[in-house]
Amino acid sequence: MSHFDLALSVALGIGLAAATGFRLFLPLLVLGGAAYTGHASLSDGFAWLGTPAALIMLGTAAIVEIAAFYIPGVDNLLDTVATPGAVVAGTIVSAAVMTDLPPMVKWTAAIIAGGGVAGITQGLTAMLRAKSTVFTGGLGNSAVATAELGSASLISILALAAPLAAIALVVLFFWLAFRLLHRLARGSRQPNEQ
């Protein structure tokens, strides 16, 4: 495996892991569908992701998860469960696509990069949803859920088609999320200071 192929494999894993920070099951479903149709290669031990049974289970889980994030109150509760779940899903999806790597290197990269990026992404979206709940009384949470769904879909597909572009999009999201959170935090402190 060339260094470029290795970089693409890692970028694919990180891109899909970031997408699991937005929605847990959708990126796994997209990867499973790509593997089933022969558009993605999976590491040893992950062929199950591309089976019809896995696609049915992941599809069902993705639909339930997507719908649940549109229910007021349930969305904030799901963030509590989704944060550790995103780290696990990010690790799994990263390891699944890091083919031709020695197991020690693959799992180290999957845990640190994949799990880390997924956890950061989920943490940022949870903070944005919490701010939305505070500032809009939960009325803006459906917009947050729609943005998360769109981001998970776009990044999952982009990671498979152009992994380096997906990484650039993830970096852009992190930058925008940090700026928005900083602005919201600064705005919420100003009335108390006057």
DSSP 24: S
What share of the chain has pLDDT > 70, as a percent?
95
The predicted pLDDT at position 190 comes to 61
Residue 89 is predicted with a pLDDT of 96
At residue 181, the 3 state secondary structure works out as helix
Range 92-99 average pLDDT? 94
State how many domains the chain has: 1
The C-alpha atoms of residue 174 and residue 56 are separated, in whole angstroms, by: 32
| pLDDT of res. 189 | 63
Q: What is the pLDDT of residue 191?
A: 56
Output the pLDDT for position 188.
63
Task: Single out the residue of 167, 116, 159, 139 nearest to residue 12, CA to CA.
Answer: 159
Average pLDDT over residues 124-141: 88
| Mean per-residue pLDDT of the chain | 91
Residue 15 domain boundaries = 3-193
Structural tokens at position 64: 């339930």
As a dihedral over the C-alpha atoms of residue 54, residue 60, residue 66, residue 71, rounded to 10 degrees, the angle is -140
Asked if residues 148 and 21 have their Cβ atoms less than 8 Å apart, the reply is no
Is residue 193 scored above 80 in pLDDT? no
Q: How many CB atoms lie within 10 A of CB 171?
A: 11
- Whether pTM > 0.75 for this model: the answer is yes
Q: Render pLDDT for 7-47 as a digit per residue (tens, 0 to 9).
A: 888 999 999 999 999 999 999 999 999 999 999 999 989 99
Query: What pLDDT, on the 0 to 100 scale, is given for residue 137?
Result: 86
